[in-house]
Structures are given as structure tokens and as C-alpha cells.
Amino acid sequence: EIVLTQSPGTLSLSPGERATLSCRASQSVSSNSLAWYQQKPGQAPRLLIYGASSRATALPDRFSGSGSGTDFTLTISRLEPEDFAVYYCQQYANSPRTFGQGTRLEIK
Amino acid sequence: EVQLVESGGGLVQPGRSLRLSCTASGFTFGDHSMSWFRQAPGKGLEWVGFIRNKASGGTIEYAASVKGRFTISRDDSKSIAYLQMNSLRTEDTGVYYCTRGYSSPSYWGQGTLVTVSS
């Protein structure tokens, strides 16, 4: 099973700042089969990034994904008020599909 | 418009069974694999399992935590995916989501709450 570890657990930033979220895998994620999701309270997760760096349909370009192998990053270039939420990475290279424990992005 | 609507959640005693349904619309259901995920209260996301579409073999995979207790099935004529949950445990409590696809799903239902408690 691939274990995903996200850091930091909580990130406190202000609107307009840059956010950098990390996801590290316990073994290489083949074909860069890694996705990022955003979840707000009471809502279903929303797909942001797939294939480590491909943006989901209609996703603002302030969101970007990068990385390969075992180290992946989600970057939000300029935070908007609606970006404060919990973010999860997920690997789908093999079963079981696994998620990181999440990073909470909160307003400073 | 793609829509996924889960139903069947509720309060159930430990050891009992429950069947969740995921009714799909807005796309050709039989062309897509379907997955189930869950989220315990205040916790992160957990994959439950998926069922591939017939063209991909219709195979099913489960998380170790539910294997042998949960069964995923589908009725392509009705555009419904099912999650049969037997021998429920308190740790199965949470919101259950169905999704279209089995890799990085972009379409999720709103979820249905399952509470396992005596």
C-alpha cells in the first residue's frame, strides 16, 4: 500500500499570498497517477489536479500541480477567500487507492 | 449535466446490514466504472472500492477494511450502483460518496450519512 504524507498539517496564510502544499509517497507513484482535491465543510471533494499536473475542467490557473516519483506539490499562486479549505492528495496508480491525511488551509 | 445521487443511509445497529444506492443521470452509465468512498466524522477520505464497467471486465476491488463484508454491484439498465454493507461496525460510520470513474474522479455525489450505533 502506498502511504501518502501531506505537509504541513495546517497552513495559515492571508489572501493574496502563495500557498505551497506537499505530498510525499512511501514509494514511487507510477505514471504520476496523483490527484489533488479541495473539500469545504459539508461538501463533497472537488477534483483540482490529476496526473500530478493536469488541471481539472474550469479550474482557475492560480492552481498548479507539480512533481513526480515520490514528491508532489500543489501551489496556489495568489490565494482568494474561497480557497481556504482542506486539501487532499490521492494516488491511483494501484489499489488500494490511498489519500493523504489532508492539509487545512486557514485564513491568517 | 452529470448527476450522482446517493440514498439509503441512516442509523443502523452494529452487526446489521444496509444497502446504499447511487442513481446516475446525464451520461451513459454503462460506459463508466463507478467507485465508493467514505469519510468518518471529522476525518479524512477513504477509498471503499470500485466496479469497472462491462467493457473493462466488470471487475471489482475493495479496500481491506471492508473486503468480505461489503459488496459493490451495478444495474446498468437502471443506471444505479449499489453498496451492500453487511456486518456493520461502529467504525463504518461516516458519509459515503459515489463517484464516476475509478482513477481520479471529477464527479461526486453529495454523500449519504451512515451511522452505526446501538
Please give the pLDDT value at position A4: 98
Residue B59 amino acid letter: T
Please give the pLDDT value at position A47: 98
Please give the pLDDT value at position A67: 97
Please give the pLDDT value at position A65: 98
CB-CB under 8 Å, B105 with A51: no
> Of B44, B61, B63, which is closest to A88 when you measure between CB atoms?
B44
pLDDT confidence band for B95 (50 / 70 / 90): very high
Residue range B77-98: mean pLDDT, rounded: 98
Q: Is the dihedral of CA B115, A86, A34, A24 positive or negative?
A: negative
Min Cα–Cα distance to chain B from A97, Å: 6
What are the pLDDT digits (tens) for B49-65? 999 999 999 999 999 99
Residue range B15-33: mean pLDDT, rounded: 98
Q: What is the mean pLDDT of chain A?
A: 97
Long-range contacts of B3-7 (CB under 8 A, 24+ apart): B4/B98, B4/B99, B4/B100, B4/B107, B4/B108, B4/B109, B5/B109, B5/B110, B6/B96, B6/B97, B6/B98, B6/B109, B6/B110, B6/B111, B6/B112, B7/B112
Residue B114 amino acid letter: V
Min Cα–Cα distance to chain B from A10, Å: 14
- The fraction of chain B above a pLDDT of 90, given in percent, is 100
pLDDT confidence band for B109 (50 / 70 / 90): very high
Contact of B27 with chain A, judged by CB distance below 8 Å, is answered with no
> In chain B, which residue's Cα lies nearest the Cα of A87?
B44
Please give the pLDDT value at position A75: 98
pLDDT confidence band for B114 (50 / 70 / 90): very high
> In chain A, which residue's Cα lies nearest the Cα of B106?
A47
Residue range A40-53: mean pLDDT, rounded: 97
What are the pLDDT digits (tens) for B68-84? 999 999 999 999 999 99
Query: Could you tell me how many CB contacts below 8 A there are between chain A and chain B?
Result: 49
What are the pLDDT digits (tens) for A16-37? 999 999 999 999 999 899 999 9
Q: Are B14 and B90 in contact (CB under 8 A)?
A: yes
| B-chain residues near A45 (CB < 8 A) | 45, 97, 108
CB-CB under 8 Å, B44 with A57: no
Contact of A16 with chain B, judged by CB distance below 8 Å, is answered with no
CB-CB under 8 Å, A101 with B47: no
Tell me phi and psi for residue B81, to 5 degrees. Answer: -110, 145
Residue range B95-112: mean pLDDT, rounded: 96
> Of A33, A39, A97, which is closest to B47 when you measure between CB atoms?
A97
Please give the pLDDT value at position A108: 93
> In chain A, which residue's Cα lies nearest the Cα of B96?
A44
pLDDT confidence band for B9 (50 / 70 / 90): very high
CB-CB under 8 Å, A88 with B105: no
> Of B63, B103, B108, which is closest to A45 when you measure between CB atoms?
B108
